[in-house]
Amino acid sequence: MAAASASFPPTALPTPTGRPSFVRRLFANRSFTIGLLLVGTVAVLALLAGVIAPFDPLKGNFRARLVEPNAMYWMGTDHFGRDILSRVLFGARISLQIAFMVALITALAGVFIGATAGYFRRLDNPIMRVMDAFMAFPSIILAIAISSVLGASVTNVIIALSIAATPHTARIVRASVMVVREMEYVEAARALGAGHMRILLRHVLANAMAPLVVRVTYVFAVAILNEAVLSFIGVGPPPPAPTFGAIIANGRDFIIAAPWITVAPGLAILVSVLGLNMLGDGLRDVLDPRMAVATR
């Protein structure tokens, strides 16, 4: 015997909740906006590298070797007399290009593989076994191995990093797909005769979007870090490409005499990755409050 609380038949319609739009909530999130600002600044500077770099990053001035940061060389010069600021700007461009391609390829491959594994039950086990096998290698080591075997070049770095990042992405997509696959409205759509492809695209992928977007942001950030590691070790894009890792590797020998060579590119990496992480946090908070990290 429960107490009644609403009248029947209803005498008034329920009012809409009036929640602010997705975009507004996104920009109200502090983590997202600061992250966007940081990444945006780096991206703009990188894209305009060719225009705003004061010097040629590859040309050395032998009379200006190992100069401390001053009015002419804002970040100093290295042992060849090359302007560090210009090298960092072009390094940013290379890094962002590589990371962007890696994120794109990983997203596409991850969605394709993950959706296939998640939706078609019979393919699930074999596909995921292969993914698990790849995930058995720490990703940076896998990337180093593949990159070294293929040879040093921008393309090979992209391939290596993509291969390293795809399995985990596929796993995330697969999980989302499996959740939606079981839902009743998918059954209903199937009963109405909708084909696999259509169901997949409309219902299933829409659900996977949120974790995928967060994951891709993360992949982008890690790609920047890993590309720097590859370059530092020597299996990245070949010299004289002014990648962050290469600059740091060069600067290592002169760390006492000229610490600025090492400090500048490292800070650039730090700022880019920090911005991306904050961006990712903000996205995650807004897309799925249950996964919220920054604002709770």
Partner 1 sequence: MGRFVLRRLLASIPALFLVSLITFGLLWLVPGDPASIFLDTSATAEELARVRRELGLDRPFLIRMGEWYLRLLQGDLGTSLLLNRSVTSAIFERLPVTLSLTALAFFFAVLIGVAAGVVAAVRHGKAADQGMMTLALLGLSIPEFWLGLVLIWSVAVLVPIFPAGDYVAFAKDPWQWARHIALPTFTLACVQMGFVARMARSSMLEVLGQDFVRTARAKGLPEPYVVLRHGLVNAMVPIVTVMGIMVGGLLGGAVVIEQVFSIPGMGRLIIGAVLSRDCPVMQGGLLFLALIYLGVNLLVDLLYAVIDPRVRLE
Partner 2 sequence: MTDARVAADGPMLEVQQLTTALGGRGPEILSSVDLTLRSGEVLGVVGESGSGKSMLALSIMGLLPHPITVRSGRVLLQGQDLLALGSQQMRALRGKDIAMIFQEPMTSLNPVMRVGQQIGEVLRWHLGLQGEAARTEGITLLRRVEMPDPQRQIDAYPHELSGGMRQRVMIAMALAGRPRLLIADEPTTALDVTIQAQILELVRKLQRDSGMSVLLITHDLGVIAEMCDRVAVMYGGRVVEFGSALDVFDRPAHPYTRGLLASRPRIAAGADWLSTIEGTVPAVGQMGAGCSFAPRCALAHAACTSVPPLHTVEPGHQTACFAPFAAVASV
Contacts of 126 (CB under 8 A, 6+ apart): none
Which range of residues in 14-22, 148-156, 184-192, 209-217 is near partner 1 by CB under 8 A? 148-156
Which range of residues in 1-9, 120-128, 147-155, 259-267 is near partner 2 by CB under 8 A? 1-9
105 binds, among partner 2, partner 1, none (CB under 5 to 8 A by kind): none
Which range of residues in 7-15, 106-114, 149-157, 239-247 is near partner 2 by CB under 8 A? 7-15
When asked if residue 145 is in the footprint of partner 1 (CB under 8 A), the reply is yes
**For partner 2, how many residues bind (rule: CB under 8 A)?**
9
When asked if residue 130 is in the footprint of partner 1 (CB under 8 A), the reply is yes
Phi and psi angles of residue 238, each rounded to the nearest 5 degrees, phi first: -70, 155
Cα–Cα distances (Å) from 293 to 34, 69, 210, 274, 280, in that order, read 15, 39, 15, 15, 10
How far is residue 258's CA from residue 253's CA, in Å, rounded to a whole number?
9
> For 4, which DSSP code?
P
When asked if residue 75 is in the footprint of partner 1 (CB under 8 A), the reply is no
For residue 203, the minimal CB distance to partner 1 (Å) is 28
For residue 76, the minimal CB distance to partner 1 (Å) is 15
> By C-beta, is 7 or 21 nearer to partner 2?
7
How far is residue 50's CA from residue 276's CA, in Å, rounded to a whole number?
23
Q: Which of residues 248-287 bind partner 2 (CB under 8 A)?
A: none
How far is residue 121's CA from residue 261's CA, in Å, rounded to a whole number?
53
> By C-beta, is 54 or 259 nearer to partner 1?
259
Which tokens belong to 97?
A: 């290009």
> By C-beta, is 5 or 21 nearer to partner 2?
5
| CA 137 to mean position of chain CA atoms | 20
For residue 18, the minimal CB distance to partner 2 (Å) is 14
When asked if residue 6 is in the footprint of partner 2 (CB under 8 A), the reply is yes
SS3 track for 121-159: HHHHHHHHHHHHHHHCCCHHHHHHHHHHHHCCCHHHHHH
For residue 130, the minimal CB distance to partner 1 (Å) is 6
Phi and psi angles of residue 184, each rounded to the nearest 5 degrees, phi first: -70, -30
When asked if residue 2 is in the footprint of partner 2 (CB under 8 A), the reply is yes
Q: Which of residues 11-50 bind partner 2 (CB under 8 A)?
A: 11
How far is residue 271's CA from residue 265's CA, in Å, rounded to a whole number?
10
Which range of residues in 46-54, 71-79, 93-101, 140-148 is near partner 1 by CB under 8 A? 140-148
Which tokens belong to 174?
A: 């697969």
| CA 261 to mean position of chain CA atoms | 26
The contact set with partner 2 (CB under 8 A) reads: 1-8, 11
